[in-house]
Structure 1
Amino acid sequence: MLIIDATEQEIECPKHKGKPYYSRKKKGNTMKTEVRINDKGRIVQVSKSYPGSVHDFKVFKHQILPPQDSKVLVDSGYHGIYRDHKKSVYPYKNTKCQKITSVVKDHNTLLAKTRIKVENIIHNIQTFNILAHKYRNQRKI
């Protein structure tokens, strides 16, 4: 079983024109990195960094796909992952026309309780200043 999530790291304002690193979510220039952990809480893979404007799912597509027989737990930013990986589990969203039932709410709660491991790992990475401070080195687009 793999648990996947992406995190963003602040960077200095790029000198070139254009804004590929601007993240609307963080309201600044960032780089995005995907972290994959196993069910025991060990980091399996950390992706290379991408500009902050790149979507989480696009970062997932650029990485090596996990084995088809393994289960993958992701957040709502990875909707559409079932086309690439059949054994993926993600939370269901509420829509205007269709409200979610109590069974779906229980599914989302159980998924969130399992996915909290990757959030804690990302928090630890940022606590130990691995991805916490501003990244000041040169980057290639």
Structure 2
Amino acid sequence: MLRGMATVNYYADDLEAAKDWYAELLGVAPYFSVPGGYYEFRIGDYQAELGIINRKFAPTSPDRPGGQMVNWHVDDVAATLEKLLTMGAQVYEPITERGNGTGFVTASVVDPFGNVLAIMSNPHYLEILAGRPE
């Protein structure tokens, strides 16, 4: 059974530039690295792992972004999307309300390294977060 997101991996031709870009976006430095191959960040309320991998280790190299999308919860979709765009990302999917006023809002970008980065305002995430012991 799936129990929760453990690690999300993105690929980049320029590993150092990707590391720097994500460090600026996230406001933290990677906590783990493999020289020339991998950087890993711990982020968010549950310290999820975000890995940046040298594209030469990718199982396939598609010509365009696509595949599975992991939606990262954010508190303000519009503000986060704007920050991503000012950092050089391109809109993949514009801000879209889901569920007719239920509070689910998504958007996604393609980062400067060809990965889809999806963001979301998710009321269920906030309910779970509010219910966890401190």
**Alignment TM-score > 0.5, same fold:** no
User: Which has a greater percent of strand?
Assistant: 2
TM-score by length of 2: 0.24
> Which structure has the higher relative contact order (CA within 8 Å, separation 6+)?
1
TM-score by length of 1: 0.23
Instruction: Please say which structure displays the higher CA radius of gyration.
Output: 1
